[in-house]
Amino acid sequence: MKRIISVLFIMLLNYQTYSQGCVAIRSTGGISNMSHTDSSKWQLNINNRYFKSYKHFVGTTEQKQRIELGNNVINHSYATDISILHKINSRWSVLIDLPILSNTRSSLYEHSNVGRYNTQSFGIGDIRLAVYSWIVDPHKMPKGNVQIGLGIKLPTGNYNYQDYFHVTTDSVRLGPVDQSIQLGDGGTGLTFELNSFYNISHTISLYQNFYYLSNPREQNGISTTRGGNASALSIKNGSNVMSVPDQVMLRGGLNATIKKTIYSLGVRYEAIPVTDLIGASGGFRRPGYVISAEPGFIYNTKKVSYYAFAPVALVRSRTQSIPDKITTALTGKYTQGDAAFADYSITIGCSINL
């Protein structure tokens, strides 16, 4: 059966998606069209994602008092991924992805608690190059197949983006913005992807996507002090410098095709691990994960596929970081930081056969 099964790659996130907030999971590249038709050798994908994070969690426990007291952090994150996919033949394809990011972060604590002010970042993120191959020639396996992708993420995004922070109501200082709204992470990373589908019938199919970014670099040398001086404790536990973390995404679910529209319902998992697969894991990061229900649809025409997805968070967790563990050992008091997450994100875009 020749038909298109489209699957979505993102990310909260990072980001940076960012994974819906302060856990900096960056975008993983928009939409990948797993097509086993040869109608077009070139494909342009334009993917847009927006979310607002404002609810704080320590572990899976929401810190509801942060909103009640008005001292929560609010991130507005918007990302556009522009990617070009070239199909070399029925099995092999290559992709280049360029993210463009726009972020605003509102907080009190970063501005000496003298008032709520914004910091911002805008520009290109980390460019990604990837090569994909179907395990079996799609012409010989139309009912189901597995696709493997290997790639490299380049440190093209500014990971030392700076803005002004208020010291008093009348004075400011220039410093690096929070890790969650930096445009890049400063690392050259390796990516691995595993995508699959299985057609149960002419209308019902299953999909699965796995993405892992390995960042061997431990730290990127950027201060977390927002232009100020590092505390003695932050120097001891290593949180005075930003980490370059790995990230992971896993999603799967069910597609139902009715005429030109594919209706999708699945589960999505996005995370920043506490420790990296390769290399050391010191420095400041907000590890954590989000598990979401992910409804969406894809409308196919001859040349263009339009899609919209809205992952809704079911579980949000900010896990204990390496600096948290070091602080616990130094002080004898259990320490675990918090992070802000969104309730949902909105993703819309299109895939164009050129």
CATH number of the domain encompassing residue 255: 2.40.160.40
Tokens of 323: 């600096």
Which of 157 and 32 is assigned the larger pLDDT? 157
Task: Please give the average per-residue pLDDT across 285-311, as a whole number.
Answer: 96
Mean pLDDT of the region 93-99: 97
d(CA 139, CA 38): 10
Name the domain count of the chain. 1
Provide mean pLDDT across the span 102-126: 97
Q: How confident is the model at residue 139 (pLDDT cuts 50, 70, 90)?
A: confident
Average pLDDT over residues 209-231: 97
All residues at 6 or more sequence positions from 324 whose CB lies less than 8 Å from its CB, including other chains: 237, 335, 336, 337
Average pLDDT score over residue span 125-130: 97
Exposure letters 246-256 (e unless 16+ CB within 10 A, then b): bbbbbbbbebe
Average of pLDDT values for 293-310? 95
Has residue 328 got a pLDDT over 90?
Answer: yes
- Please give the Cα distance from 79 to 74 (Å, whole number): 16
Higher pLDDT, 175 or 7: 175
pLDDT higher than 50, residue 208 = yes
124 has a pLDDT exceeding 90 = yes
| Percent of the chain whose pLDDT exceeds 70 | 89
Looking at residue 2, its pLDDT comes to: 38
Instruction: DSSP letter for 133, please.
Output: E
Q: What angle do CA 295, 204, 299 make, to 5 degrees?
A: 55
Asked if the model's pLDDT at residue 38 lies above 60, the reply is: no
Average per-residue pLDDT in the chain?
90
Q: What is residue 142's predicted lDDT score, i.e. its pLDDT?
A: 87
pTM: predicted TM-score of the whole model, two decimal places: 0.91
Question: Which residue range(s) make up the domain with 171?
Answer: 4-353
